[in-house]
Amino acid sequence: MADECCGPRDSHPAPDADSGMEQDHGPARLWDVRELRLAAVATVLLGAGLVIPGRVGTGVQLTAAVVGAATFVPGALRNVLRRRIGVGTLMTIAAIGAVALGQITEAAMLGVLFSIAEGLEHYAIARTRRGLRALLGLVPPTASVLRDGAEIQVAPDDLVLGDRMVLRPGGRAATDGVIRAGRTSLDLSAITGESVPVEAGPGDRVHAGAINGGGAIEVEVTARASDSSLARIVHIVEEAQDRKGGGQRLADRIARPLVPAIMGLAVIIAAVGAVAGDPLVWVERALVVLVAASPCALAISIPLTVVAAVGAASRHGALVKGGAALEELGRVGVVALDKTGTLTRNAPRVVDVVAVGEATRADVLAAAAALEARSEHPLARAILDAADSVPAAADVTAVPGHGLRGRVDGTALRLGKPGWVPAGELANDVERLERAGATVVLIERADTLLGAIAVRDDLRDETPEVISRLNAMGIRTAMLTGDNIRTATALAAQAGISTVHAELLPEDKANLLAGLRDGRKIAMVGDGVNDAPALATADVGIAMGAMGTDVAIETADVALMGEDLRHLPQVLAHARHARTVMLQNVGLSLAIIGVLIPLAAFGVLGLATVVLVHESAEVLVILNAIRAAKTTALPGVTTTSPATPPILAVSIAGKSDDTGCCDAC
């Protein structure tokens, strides 16, 4: 906010010059909050002043008013000098006016209650922001590196590409790398929210912050510490802090002009009332209106909910990019899912090879592997693993959506889907294999069919459960895939999906989304690579298994860092809950303002009552916003402990400026 709605502007620490991240994330205990300490002192003084008779008691009450007002008056005066007004300005005018009119007790109550509300908000924000400290703790202070035949300790920032890190059992990776020696199991729970260790060996990737749970390994550094997967997430978090949802923008549009309008209304009430009756009575009512119409609860209603909800989403291993993504996610009614790597395990394997004529199984696999050695297609790895030999191929080119061309020993080869490569005498075999849920590719040598290879990527074990849960939530599902219609239909039937669109190019998936919406918000779930156009086109793009995948994290609005698909219904249900809380907070805030203004203007409620109701409403909004952090774990899904939050609890935990609040005022 532009004013002291949320505590003094200098109460939040400056970012660390090197890391770009805050090193102090606010009070760990309620008593550490400055506003709450001053409110406690003011409360004691007010109580004593009410007991002590005469001028001494009045003086003690006045001291209580000064102590309570110390949390917002100095900042409000500084902002007035900068020609900026806000809620703190309204409260300052009301407090000074109450003292001038002799309502010392009411002025003290205003200071106490306003300070309590702001202190609770400050604490709620800080509690969520402390997840960033957990992120910083994932990177060890030193890393063991092999240089010149000796093992030395260096700071993570001193690591260079090509360094060999030695990671012993229990140690954390200081940056991203690839295992070059040793086998182990990696604990990624702090990153992805999944507690099941991942087996890893030579050639496998290691992400910054991963814990080595097995034997000692040597990891070749592939990214500087400042460019690691963790650093990339922090960068995204910083950018996402400025992204607002529609609800927050609505609150801003209402609250921003409301402050000067309230001041104008108060002046009119005082002026008109002075002509019609007792000037002092109407000045007092004008001051009460200033407090009654203060939009602080409205201003914090959305940002604080977003802070709590996005931080809590991290316990699902989900990176949600700000309020806009959270709100859209809460409105999703249709989910389109890619097949490979999303609904399936992304571990394809060759299940059958059919050769033609004198060709053998080895001949078919070798010819296919020669072309696939230059391919990045998910099926390539399965064929290469099954082949006994991989001949050198030349002039290999990809035909998008169809297959590959190339030459081996001067002989032309073509590998691709049935239809692009004629199935010929293998047509019945192709149909049989596809109906069994396999993807079939045909290999042709010198324009003569050599054989067919069936590759199957089995459904994830949790896929049917996930689809069932989405259906129970009233969310319609659809499968989008580039695979053939028979294979897609077979897998969709196993998953429980009735709407299937197959044989699609990446751009076809994006074009289909408009027709699938049916007037509702649609989310696209994919791997973020081949699905990038669809992720960008959908109302909400959700990248699956996104840890370490640049394009997935950059393109998607929501990134599920792990591989457990059950996190999808979790984060959708959580977003719906958060959106409900947002709407409740906005409605309550507007209702309080709408009721209090006329009652204050006509003298039905005095300053003390209005202060109590107004600040109680603000506390209620804060407490309700914190409810957005409540999550319910689905059966069989492991979430990280709130006491040791995953890195994603950095949560875009920011608000829109450095006060830790919002800019609505």
Q: How far apart are CA 96 and CA 94, in angstroms?
A: 6
| Cα-Cα-Cα-Cα dihedral sign, residues 204, 207, 213, 214 | positive
Between 531 and 517, the more confident residue is: 517
Between 460 and 319, the more confident residue is: 460
- Judged by DSSP in three states, 63 sits in helix
Select from 358, 558, 541, 353 the least CA-distant residue to 442.
353
* 663 annotated active-site: no
- What was the pLDDT predicted at 13? 37
- As a residue count, the chain comes to 665
Residue with tokens 């993504």: 325
485: its two tokens: 């219609």
What's the distance, CA 80 to chain centroid?
36
Ranking 307-321, 553-567, 570-584 by mean pLDDT, the lowest is 307-321
pLDDT at 461 over 70: yes
Between 178 and 118, the more confident residue is: 178
Residues in Cβ contact with 449 at an 8 Å cutoff, skipping those fewer than 6 apart: 356, 421, 422, 423, 424, 425, 426, 442, 443
- What was the pLDDT predicted at 645? 38
Give the model confidence (pLDDT) of 645-658 as tens digits: 333 333 333 333 33
301 neighbors 581 (Cβ within 8 angstroms): no
pLDDT category, 414, cuts 50, 70, 90?
very high
Q: How far apart are CA 38 and CA 49, in angstroms?
A: 16
- Judged by DSSP in three states, 452 sits in strand
SS3 content of the chain, % helix, strand, coil (to 5): 50, 15, 30
Identify the DSSP state of 6: G
Q: What is the chain's mean pLDDT, rounded?
A: 79
383 neighbors 369 (Cβ within 8 angstroms): yes
What's the distance, CA 156 to chain centroid?
26
Decide: residue 521, CB within 10 A, 0-12 exposed, 13-18 middle, 19+ buried. Answer: middle
Largest CA-CA distance found in the chain, in angstroms, rounded? 113
Give the model confidence (pLDDT) of 590-636 as tens digits: 888 888 888 888 888 887 888 788 778 878 888 888 888 776 655 55
User: Model-level pTM?
Assistant: 0.69
Between 563 and 565, the more confident residue is: 565
Q: Dihedral (C-alpha) 600, 605, 607, 612: value to the nearest 10 degrees? A: -110
- Give the number of other CB atoms < 10 A from CB of residue 643: 6
587: its two tokens: 């409605």
Ranking 225-229, 254-258, 541-545 by mean pLDDT, the lowest is 254-258
pLDDT category, 520, cuts 50, 70, 90?
very high
* End-to-end Cα spacing for the chain: 5
Ranking 293-297, 453-457, 497-501, 551-555 by mean pLDDT, the lowest is 551-555
Q: Dihedral (C-alpha) 190, 193, 197, 203: value to the nearest 10 degrees? A: -80
Helices assigned H by DSSP within 314-360: 322-330
Select from 534, 364, 359 the least CA-distant residue to 440.
364
pLDDT at 6 over 50: no
Q: Ranked by mean pLDDT, which of 201-205, 218-222, 299-303 comes out on top?
A: 218-222
- What was the pLDDT predicted at 362? 93
Catalytic entry in 163, 187, 252, 338: 338
Q: How far apart are CA 271 and CA 273, in angstroms?
A: 5
Helices assigned H by DSSP within 151-216: 189-192
Give the model confidence (pLDDT) of 239-248 as tens digits: 544 455 555 5
- Give the number of other CB atoms < 10 A from CB of residue 421: 20
In degrees and rounded to multiples of 5, residue 511 shows phi and psi of -70, -25
502: its two tokens: 């197959």
How large is the average pLDDT for residues 344-364? 90
Residue with tokens 């550490």: 32
Question: What one-character-per-residue DSSP string does 539-584 give?
Answer: SEEEEES-TT-HHHHHH-SEEE-SS-TTHHHHHHHHHHHHHHHHHH
Strand partners, 365: none
How large is the average pLDDT for residues 163-168? 92
How large is the average pLDDT for residues 35-39? 84
Between 99 and 152, the more confident residue is: 152
